[in-house]
Amino acid sequence: MSLFITFEGPEGAGKSTQIKRLAARLEAANVSFIPTREPGGTLLGTRIRSVVLQDVELEVHPLAEFLLYSASRAQLVADVIRPALQSGEVVICDRYADSSAAYQGAGRGLNPRFVADVTWEATGGLRPHITVLLDLDPEVGLKRAAVRGQPDRLESADLGFHQRVRQAFLDIAAAEPERFLVLDGQRSEDELEADIWAAISATLTALGKVTTPDH
């Protein structure tokens, strides 16, 4: 049985750290998995990533921005995620469609219905089984992200934008509680790792992918 796990959250919430820790847990439990990310994960996606994120000087209309993320997503689903799931793999994706709903829908103000429709086309309706949402106050998150260096296009947006993004993630999670594990990004890395592993190892055990859950 395949398993599609995504990580979401506002800037600086600690996704990368927790994805690395989950990867180490999976390796220790001998569970193979395919790590990927958005935007990116394919040759086209990597090119789109550099246009949409790194080239901060380039003017990109909100609609164009959304369509670029969607183009990266369509390629990633077709080339990587769907084939992996079809062969029964575990896929871990750093951001996915919820990021477009939050950043381009709530953040940039695009029509949520339109965002949902295009996302449906781009993904063929493919949704994650589990989404880990690391929630964090954007004032804290942006300070954390700033330590990492030059802000990218989205990090450069104002605080109000990031507050809308955070709230949108929480609203999406509240509407689909069975898919989401919502965690407070201010908790310690060890505590977050333990909670994430408890949820994911339980699912893997139910799927027969690990025999003894290792908490």
Binding site for ligand TYD (CB under 6 A): 11, 15, 38-39, 53, 69, 94-95, 99-100, 103-104, 145, 154-155
Considering the complex, state which of residue 146 and residue 174 has its C-beta at the smaller distance from ligand TYD: 146
Measure the CA–CA gap between 64 and 120, rounded to whole angstroms: 17
Q: How far is the CB of 152 from ligand TYD (least distance, A)?
A: 6
Measure the CA–CA gap between 208 and 190, rounded to whole angstroms: 26
Q: How far is the CB of 41 from ligand TYD (least distance, A)?
A: 10
Considering the complex, state which of residue 7 and residue 197 has its C-beta at the smaller distance from ligand TYD: 7
Considering the complex, state which of residue 117 and residue 214 has its C-beta at the smaller distance from ligand TYD: 117
Measure the CA–CA gap between 163 and 147, rounded to whole angstroms: 20
Considering the complex, state which of residue 129 and residue 164 has its C-beta at the smaller distance from ligand TYD: 164
* Residue 140 C-beta-side C-alpha neighbours within 13 Å: 12
Q: How far is the CB of 126 from ligand TYD (least distance, A)?
A: 14
Q: How far is CA 141 from CA 13, 47, 147, in A?
A: 6, 26, 10
